[in-house]
Every structure is written in structure tokens, then in C-alpha cells.
Amino acid sequence: MKSRSLAAAMALAACASLTGGASALAAEEASFFLGGSIEARPFARLYAPEGLAFDSAEYGSASTLSLDLDARGPNARAYASLEASLLNGAAAGDAWAAAGLASAGVLDAGGLLMAPAYDLSAAGDPPPTLFQARVRSLYVKLDRDWISLIAGRQVIKYQRGALWSPTDVYTELDLSGMSPVRRGADALRLSFPLGATGAFDMVAAPSASMEEGRYSARLSGMLLGIDAAALAYRDGRPGSALSGSWSAGAAIGADLGLGIDAEILASWPDSGEAWLRAALGADYSIGRLVLAAEYYYNGGGPAADAAAPGAHNAYAALSWAALDLASFAASGTIGFSERSWSSALSASISAAQNAQIAVYARLSRAGESLPTGLEAGASLTVIF
């Protein structure tokens, strides 16, 4: 909590200095932006204990307000992204279940605030209506030609793969919505540019105790036409699957007509057996049609990655921008080890200026002994 308070104070102080001191800067050197979106997403969900004989249904809705604030000076930036949601029915139940996993240490709550608050000792049926809010990003950035420093909650994007990314160690994958979302972390990030394409990154996500923080060093750049990166990582968080462990990883990406991405991360806990995670993906575009596929090996099991608990996993996606104002997408995932799978179809169209309508359907099964679920819904998003 101390590190979060420090990061928030630094970001707010930077906002005040950039906006309140704007008169000291030339007009072309300073700017301020305030924007966001409002989304309403009703949906229905059916369950089939065996085969596709659906015999039960539930309904839910999620209304979300997102705000983005961006203040910039000649060599500084302060950014905040806030999110608040009102959840009803099945949407409240999903959030309640995720809060239980976070309380048990399986998932990272990521600074989520909920009303009513989840109580692990008195957990019961989910409330019919739930309010939750989250600070997605809140950071200040100081930038010079030879160095940059970012302090606060931020998305440290080391992602390579289309879905899974073993070396993306600071973000948590959220698959609860219509599309995957990566959650940020409270951290200090120091970057040194190396030429036009390379960089040396040092990141610290400290806790109240230095031993319980996370720390890494990453070197990236172009090597013989290949985008490559090497990572060293220490995780000391109590209760985490990687708690008290050292990890080393590497990632490469190349465009050979067919885009190729590969990652590997090996972890050695202070006590217990080591494990390996790796991903190999490819993508190809034909005009407005984009195809992507990825294989993911998770040798650490559900404790290492709750989003893909089995050892062998695969993902495939196809997207088509049929018109300038309309697009279609299809995707699917398979967990071979636990025999889970999910498939989804979606379509979106720009209904008016800054307004978008989307419809989707998702058929999934979390395991061989679990029921099949069919979810269908729509969303209306207005951007301002």
C-alpha cells in the first residue's frame, strides 16, 4: 500500500505541476487531454450439463465509465486512466467469483475497489448488484534523449504473443470481457535508449518489504533483422506462484512474410522444482483479412498462469475489416491437458460519430466434467 500511495502522490503532483504551471511553458510545448467512453453491455448465458442440451439460463449487464487524463510538458507527462462499472446479475456473479480468487491469492486484484466488499471469511452468494472501480493507470513520466523514468501504475508491455506471453511478467491477462485486457502494475521503470530500436529497461515493483517486491532487467533491440529481447526477473511476492523465485527469459520476433513470435521463460524457485513456459505464434495478413495462431506451453500449471492452467494450449483468430465502418472476428482457444475450450464470434459497426455497436456469441467449456456455456450479448459504446 505504501508504494501505491507514493506512486499516486507522484502522479498527482506531476499533474498539478504540468497544468498549474502551464503559463510558464510555450503554448505549443504543453497540452492537456480529457476523454473517455461509456459502454453498456447486456448479455444472456445458457448452460448445458451434457452435450448441447441447454437447460438453465442467467442474465446480466455491465455499464462502464472510463476516463483518460493526459497532461504533457516538453519533457514530462502525467497520465491517469480510471474505470468504474455497475454490474448486475451474472456480471456481478463473475466479478464476485474473481474477487474470491484474488482474496485467495490466485489472481491479482490490481487495485480493484468493490461495494459491497468481498469478505473471504463470510463468502456467500454474490450480490444482485455490484459496483467496482479501478485505477487502470496513474503515472508520471520524465523523458530526456538518453533516459526516461516512469513512476506509478503502468502497463509494462513486454508482450509478444497474440494472447499468451510468458515474458510479459508485470501484466495480468483479464479474459472476462469481450476482448483480452492486460492489467498494469505499480512500478518504477528506468529506460535507456540504445540506438534507434534498442533499449535497456530496469523495473522495480517494490512492496512494504523490499524482499517481497518484483525486480527485472531487460535488454532489447534488432539483431540481424530479428527483434530480440532478454529478461532477468526476481519475484518475491508472498502467496504468488513465483514467490521467492528467479526467472530468465528471451523473446524474438521476425517478419518473414509470415510474422513469427517466440518466447521462453524458465523459473527457479528458492525451494521446489523449476518449471518452463514457452509460446510460439504466427500471423499473416491478406488485404483486410488477418490470421493469427499461437501455441503455449505452461509447465508451471494453474499456479503459474490461471488464464491457461493446463500444460498444452492453442489459440487461433481471424479478423476481417470488411468495410471502413464494420469488422468481423472469430477466435478459439483449446486447453488440451484439461480438455477445455472456447470459441467466439463478434461483429462491430460504427453506428454514428464516436459510437459503436457490437454483438458477440461465445461457446465455452472450462473442463471435461464441467457444463458447456453459451453467452450472447451486445454492447453500445460512446466515445467522448
pLDDT in tens, 135-181: 999 999 999 989 999 999 999 989 888 888 999 998 877 766 667 77
In this structure, of 19-23, 309-313, 342-346, the range with the lowest mean pLDDT score is 19-23
Instruction: Say what the pLDDT of residue 266 is.
Output: 96
Residue 37 CA to residue 66 CA, distance in Å, equals: 5
Contact call for residues 160 and 167 (beta carbons, < 8 A) = yes
Contact call for residues 216 and 236 (beta carbons, < 8 A) = no
Question: Would you say residue 5 has pLDDT above 60?
Answer: no
Long-range contacts of 354-362 (CB under 8 A, 24+ apart): 354/382, 354/383, 354/384, 355/380, 355/381, 355/382, 355/383, 356/380, 356/381, 356/383, 357/381, 358/178, 360/178
Percentage above 70 pLDDT, the chain: 88
Instruction: Say what the pLDDT of residue 293 is.
Output: 97
Residue 85 CA to residue 102 CA, distance in Å, equals: 18
Instruction: Say what the pLDDT of residue 15 is.
Output: 42
- Give residue for cell 517494490: 206
Per-residue pLDDT averaged across 71-92, rounded? 95
Phi, psi dihedrals of residue 163, rounded to the nearest 5° = -130, -60
Residue 10 CA to residue 25 CA, distance in Å, equals: 21
Three-state SS sequence of 175-221: CCCCCCEEECEEEEEEEEEECCCEEEEEEEECCCCHHHCEEEEEEEE
Residue 383 CA to residue 153 CA, distance in Å, equals: 23
Q: For the chain, which domains are there?
A: 2-23+30-383 (2.40.160.10)
Q: Sign of the C-alpha dihedral, residues 110, 65, 160, 162?
A: positive
Instruction: Say what the pLDDT of residue 241 is.
Output: 57
Mean per-residue pLDDT over the chain, rounded:
86
Residue 366 CA to residue 383 CA, distance in Å, equals: 34
pLDDT tens for each residue of 272-318 = 789 999 999 999 999 999 999 999 999 988 777 877 878 999 999 99
pLDDT tens for each residue of 241-256 = 566 889 999 999 999 8
Question: Would you say residue 216 has pLDDT above 50?
Answer: yes
pLDDT tens for each residue of 44-67 = 999 998 777 888 899 999 999 999
Instruction: Say what the pLDDT of residue 370 is.
Output: 86
Phi, psi dihedrals of residue 310, rounded to the nearest 5° = -80, 170
Q: Label the pairing between strands 214-223 and 289-298.
A: unpaired
Which pTM does this prediction carry? 0.83
Residue 74 half-sphere exposure toward CB, CA atoms < 13 A = 9
pLDDT tens for each residue of 95-132 = 888 887 777 666 666 678 888 888 766 667 889 999 99
Instruction: Say what the pLDDT of residue 257 is.
Output: 86
Question: Would you say residue 34 has pLDDT above 80?
Answer: yes
